[in-house]
Amino acid sequence: MAAIEIKNLWKEYGQDVVLERLNAKVEEGEFVTVVGASGCGKTTFLKMMLGTESPTRGQLLLDGKPIPDEPDETRGIVFQRYSVLPHLTAVENVMLAGELESSRWLGRVFGGKRRALREQAEEMLASVGLDQALGKYPHELSGGMQQRLALAQALIKKPRILLLDEPFGALDPGIRRDMHELVLDLWRKQDLTVFMITHDLAEGFFLGTRMWVFDKERLDPQTPGSYGARITYDLPVGNSDKGTLQSITQSVDSTARVLGA
């Protein structure tokens, strides 16, 4: 059975159709990159996966059951920003998940248990290259380091599904490439199912196992809200040629122009 099954999924806000007739199956361990024009509903899709928005029609199944309609530990997330807690140091941010789990009331642990959690957290931070920043607060870290920290914090919880909403959108291209390497590396080691939204089409082409393009098949320039976006391309990563990239780019660009107008 597929880990995630999307069956005829619709999302509408009042009159505006954002997503329509989405159908897909995602297996455990896949890495899906999601690309598409700004405003076409990528974040909305991720919110439905997360449980903070619910579908207006259709079903979104996790292991055959409707996905819980509030966030929980099965689905980890890294946002573009505000993902880490500003009042905790880097190592405290990463220890948090363990503390919350072992102490339902206090949310804090002490003594030997704390040392064990700290050790794990330090290991995790080392694996994202933050071993020099253990005691620093997020505001003392650069944007890239904050996102690494957010990754470490989400991954130590070992979520079934990791959702990434343009986590590196605000970073320099060079650093972004490093971060992609890091994510791919962690994904291979941890056996996660990943959904990652990115703005950069070419990037999506080379990351992970599968790329989805969200785009509006039908587009009414006067009322762009009357039709929703669908998954117009569902490509295995690695065996795509230049022509496909070009035609996707063209189609996404023209949608972007209408949505941006």
Partner 1 sequence: MKKLINRQAGPVGRWALGLLPFVILAVLYLVASDARLDANPNDKLLPSLSSFSDAIERMAFEPSKRSGEYTLLVDTLASLQRLGIGVAISALIGLVVGIATGSLPLFRAGISPLVTGMSLVPPLAILPILFIIFGLGELAKVMLIIIGITPFLIRDLQQRAEEIPTEQIIKMQTLGANTWQIITRLVWPQIMPRLLSSVRLSLGSAWLFLIAAEAIAATEGLGYRIFLVRRYLAMDVILPYVAWITFLAFALDFALKRYSQWRYPWFHGAQ
Ligand X SMILES: Nc1ncnc2c1ncn2[C@@H]1O[C@H](COP(=O)(O)OP(=O)(O)OP(=O)(O)O)[C@@H](O)[C@H]1O
Q: Which residues bind ligand X (CB under 6 A)?
A: 13, 18, 36, 38-44
Q: Which string of x and - marks every residue 118-147 that binds partner 1 (by CB under 8 A)?
A: -------------------xxxx-------
Q: Which of 65, 104, 218, 242 binds partner 1 (CB under 8 A)?
A: 104
- Residue 238 lies near partner 1 (rule: CB under 8 A): no
Q: Which string of x and - marks every residue 41-70 that binds Mg ion (by CB under 5 A)?
A: --x---------------------------
Half-sphere exposure of 43 (CA within 13 A, CB side): 10
**Nearest distance in Å: CB 42, ligand X:** 4
Half-sphere exposure of 158 (CA within 13 A, CB side): 7
Q: Label residue 211 exposed, middle or buried (CB < 10 Å: 0-12, 13-18, 19+).
A: buried
- Residue 107 lies near partner 1 (rule: CB under 8 A): yes
List the alpha helices (DSSP H) in the chain: 42-50, 90-102, 111-127, 143-155, 173-190, 201-206, 242-260
- Residue 252 lies near partner 1 (rule: CB under 8 A): no
29's tokens: 């361990």
55's tokens: 């579908």
**Nearest distance in Å: CB 200, ligand X:** 11
Q: Which string of x and - marks every residue 69-98 that binds partner 1 (by CB under 8 A)?
A: -xxxx-xxx-x-xxxxxxx--------xx-
**Nearer Cβ to partner 1, position 99 or 215?**
99
Q: For 11-41, what is the HEC assignment? A: EEECCEEEEEEEEEEECCCCEEEEEECCCCC
Strands in 193-197's sheet, in edge-to-edge order, are 65-66, 57-62, 4-13, 16-26, 229-236, 210-216, 31-36, 193-197, 161-165, 75-78
- Residue 198 lies near Mg ion (rule: CB under 5 A): no
Q: What are the beta bridge partners of residue 36? A: 214
Q: What are the beta bridge partners of residue 230? A: 215
**Nearest distance in Å: CB 14, ligand X:** 7
Binds 248: which of partner 1, Mg ion, ligand X, none (CB < 5-8 Å by kind): none
**Nearest distance in Å: CB 116, partner 1:** 17
Q: Cβ neighbours of residue 156 under 8 Å, at least 6 residues apart?
A: 94, 97, 98, 120, 121, 124
Q: Locate tokens 């060079």: which residue?
A: 174
19's tokens: 């997503």
Q: Which of 101, 123, 181, 191 binds partner 1 (CB under 8 A)?
A: 101
**Nearest distance in Å: CB 126, ligand X:** 32
Q: Which residues are near partner 1 by CB under 8 A? A: 50, 52, 70-73, 75-77, 79, 81-87, 96-97, 99-101, 104-108, 137-140, 153-154, 157, 159
Q: Which residues are near Mg ion by CB under 5 A? A: 43
